[in-house]
Amino acid sequence: MSDHLHIQNIHKDFSGLKVLTGVDFKVADKQRHAIIGPNGAGKTTLFNIISGKFKPSSGAILYKGEDISGKPPHLLNRRGLSRSFQISNLFQELTVFENVLTGVRSRHRMRCNFFKRPNSDCTLCAATEAILENVGLINEKDKPASSLSYGKQRALEIAITLSTEPELILLDEPTAGMTREETELAIRMIDRLTKNHTLIIIEHDMDVVFSLAHIISVLHYGTILVSDTPDKIRNDQRVKDAYLGEG
Amino acid sequence: MKKNYVAYSVMVILFLLGAFMPVILKSYQMNMLTEIIIFTLYAVSYNLLLGYAGLLSFGHAMFFGLGAFVTAIAINHIPGISLINAVLFGLAATIVAGFIIGCLLLRHKGSYFALLTLAFNSLFFVVATKWSSVTGGDDGLSITRPDLNLGFTSISMTNANHFYYVALIVVGIALVFCWYFTQTAMGKSVVLMRENEERMKFLGYNTNASRLILFTFTGALAGLAGCLYALHFQFVSLSAISVDMTTAVLIMAFVGGTGTYWGPILGVFVYILLQNFLSDITDRWAFFMGLIFIFMVIFIPGGLSQVIMNLYQRFFGKKTDDNTEVEETT
């Protein structure tokens, strides 16, 4: 297996505050990689750097062997990298359908076209409905996003993330704030939708992490404490001390 | 689809009504109607920025004025220039200006965008004032409308009604295109940008480029309105490029309502009719216009179109829309 993403010695400081102090890990092609760690460890900052929102202070990010650090988010998305947000980042006033269509037409290069109407394009509408079917929102497609329940907004967040048909998916706490049942559903959905994709997931819920991930990295005070398979992570003394506790 | 059908039908009806107006109205009223039609395009172009993209610009008059001045200058300095070419000159100038200014503005939003557009408008105004050898300065520029040469025939433009038809057709086509534009990929992207620009970036949209395209496009539409304005009055004064002309379009759009496509069109009718009515009664018409505007902003921020929509929902809503009951009880 080749490396899909290779994070090389990433540092990030915000005017003196060192958030990341040398993060290093590799994500193999088609692998599911979970990042866990206590609050404030820098998980979301790391996502912001990978997805192009922030520039790293130093270090490199190799995406399919090419350094992408500092490239703007829209170019990274066009190359197959898509992320979700910890706090649902939707187009609140628009319908569920329009929300997902936004990504679908971006994928089909219908971003700034002055003459074509995306809503009259059968290919785009069919692709959008297929995604909505997959995440179980097809019955809500004409409702405004703001009217959905919290759990469904989280599902829509994932739907939007998948709408650009990414190869590398970054999910930032997809099940945050969900009930037990919603989480179960979400795990199965993520499992189904991210088959044959490379996935990096930030998660606090250990059930989610241990049932989805092939490899788990523990981020602790700005650096990777350990990266290994779920079984080994479960029994690692350092991880127990730093994060898992005696669970 | 149904909404589209209605919208295009209304436009066709309005166009046909407009085509019959010269039979009914006196020449004084025809003058006013031509002015209204020209300002309609100006206001709709402004609303694409303000209502659709959520960008408050205080510099829309620089495009309107630039279009008007370049058209006038072209007519005065190029002997025998055709009407179409004069308009194309004005249009080309605003497209270039819109693109260059847009490049300088594209990273800014909100109040920075508003203030920078205001600064550029002032710059254009000062240039127009000081460069009097070309723009005529305080005296303005007088022009004579060239004839419209269509190749197979030439239509005299000395008759004001002939020019009315030109304005009606040009603005009509532009408005139909603008309506179509709101449903195209670009038109949808504009609204998405207002809603959540950050998310768009993470979905592969280059929002700075979209903003630049929109700014240039709306500037060109305003420039086209400016060209027609110069041709209509056969005179361009500094007021065409002044900040007052920007506030005028802001008030027009606001009075009509920025939440709908047709709101600003209604706003132009109300503004110009009211202005004519008030200026007949009192010299201080601007004062009363200001009062009305303040009243509107405070009490009906959605403008007249919101009032009409609410009334429509109240009387006809029950049959068509389930939300009415919620509306009425709240």
Digit-coded pLDDT (tens) for B221-246: 999 999 999 999 999 999 999 998 99
Digit-coded pLDDT (tens) for B234-292: 999 999 999 989 999 998 998 888 888 899 999 999 999 998 899 888 888 888 888 88
Probe site for chain B from A85, A102, A161 (most B CB atoms < 10 A): A102
- B25 — pLDDT class (breaks 50, 70, 90): confident
**What was the pLDDT predicted at B140?**
86
SS (H, E, C) B48-89: HHHHHCCCCCCCHHHHHHHHHHHHHHHHHHCCCCCHHHHHHH
**Cα gap B57→B67, rounded to integer Å:** 17
Supply the mean pLDDT for chain B. Answer: 87
B189 has a chain A CB within 8 A of its CB: yes
* Pick from A74, A113, A114: CB nearest B206: A74
Of residues B66, B100, B84, the one with CA closest to residue B223: B66
**Cα gap A3→B147, rounded to integer Å:** 70
Q: Which residue has the higher pLDDT, A207 or B30?
A: B30
Q: Do B202 and A115 count as a contact with CB atoms less than 8 A apart?
A: no
Residue B215 reports pLDDT greater than 90: yes
Collect all residues of chain B within an 8 Å Cβ-Cβ radius of residue A115: 184
Quick one: how many helices (H) and strands (E) in chain A? 9, 10
B188 has a chain A CB within 8 A of its CB: yes
**What was the pLDDT predicted at B313?**
84
Residue B114 reports pLDDT greater than 90: yes
Burial degree of B48 (CB within 10 A; 0-12, 13-18, 19+): buried
Digit-coded pLDDT (tens) for B187-207: 899 999 889 999 999 999 999
**What was the pLDDT predicted at A169?**
92
B202 has a chain A CB within 8 A of its CB: yes
> Between A and B, how many residue pairs show a Cβ–Cβ distance under 8 A?
89
**What was the pLDDT predicted at B41?**
95
**Cα gap A1→A30, rounded to integer Å:** 9
- B117 — pLDDT class (breaks 50, 70, 90): very high
Structural domains in chain A? 1-80+167-247 (3.40.50.300), 90-165 (no CATH)
Domain ranges of chain B: 2-241
Other beta carbons less than 10 A from residue B253's beta carbon: 27
Digit-coded pLDDT (tens) for B146-182: 888 777 778 788 888 889 999 999 999 999 999 999 9
- List, edge to edge, every strand of the sheet that includes A17-28: A17-28, A3-14, A58-63, A66-67
Q: What's the average model confidence in pLDDT over B110-134?
A: 92
3-state secondary structure of A163: coil
Q: Do B204 and A106 count as a contact with CB atoms less than 8 A apart?
A: yes
pLDDT along chain A (247 residues), means of 10: 82 88 88 87 89 90 88 91 90 90 87 82 87 88 89 90 90 87 87 88 86 89 86 83 66
A153 has a chain B CB within 8 A of its CB: no
* E strand segments, A111-207: 168-172, 198-202
Q: Do B184 and A94 count as a contact with CB atoms less than 8 A apart?
A: no
CA distances from A211 to A204, B180, B243 (A): 13, 49, 63
Q: Which residue has the higher pLDDT, A58 or B325?
A: A58
Using CA atoms in the order B206, B179, B57, A98, what is the torsion angle rounded to 10 degrees?
-40
Percent of chain B with pLDDT over 90: 47
B181 has a chain A CB within 8 A of its CB: yes
Of residues A10, A45, A42, A47, the one with CA closest to residue A25: A10
**What was the pLDDT predicted at A15?**
87
**What was the pLDDT predicted at B2?**
65
**What was the pLDDT predicted at B160?**
85
**Cα gap B183→A109, rounded to integer Å:** 16
CA distances from B110 to A225, B150, B219, B248 (A): 43, 44, 18, 20
Instruction: Find the residue in B nearest to A93 (Cα).
Output: B195
Q: Do A51 and B189 count as a contact with CB atoms less than 8 A apart?
A: no
A19 has a chain B CB within 8 A of its CB: no
Residue B128 identity (one-letter amino acid): A
CA distances from B129 to B233, B235, B316 (A): 20, 15, 53
Say what the ipTM of the complex is: 0.89
- B64 — pLDDT class (breaks 50, 70, 90): very high
B203 has a chain A CB within 8 A of its CB: yes
**What was the pLDDT predicted at B318?**
53
User: With contact defined as beta carbons under 8 Å apart, do B50 and B57 qualify?
Assistant: yes
What are the two backbone dihedrals, phi and then psi, of residue A176, each rounded to the nearest 5 degrees? Answer: -55, 130
Instruction: Find the residue in B nearest to A85 (Cα).
Output: B199
Residue B213 reports pLDDT greater than 70: yes
Contacts 24+ apart (CB under 8 A), A22-25: A22/A59, A22/A222, A22/A223, A23/A59, A23/A219, A23/A222, A23/A223, A23/A224, A24/A224, A25/A217, A25/A224, A25/A227
Residue B328 reports pLDDT greater than 70: no
Burial degree of A58 (CB within 10 A; 0-12, 13-18, 19+): middle
A147 has a chain B CB within 8 A of its CB: no
User: With contact defined as beta carbons under 8 Å apart, do A37 and A60 qualify?
Assistant: no
**Cα gap B230→B292, rounded to integer Å:** 28
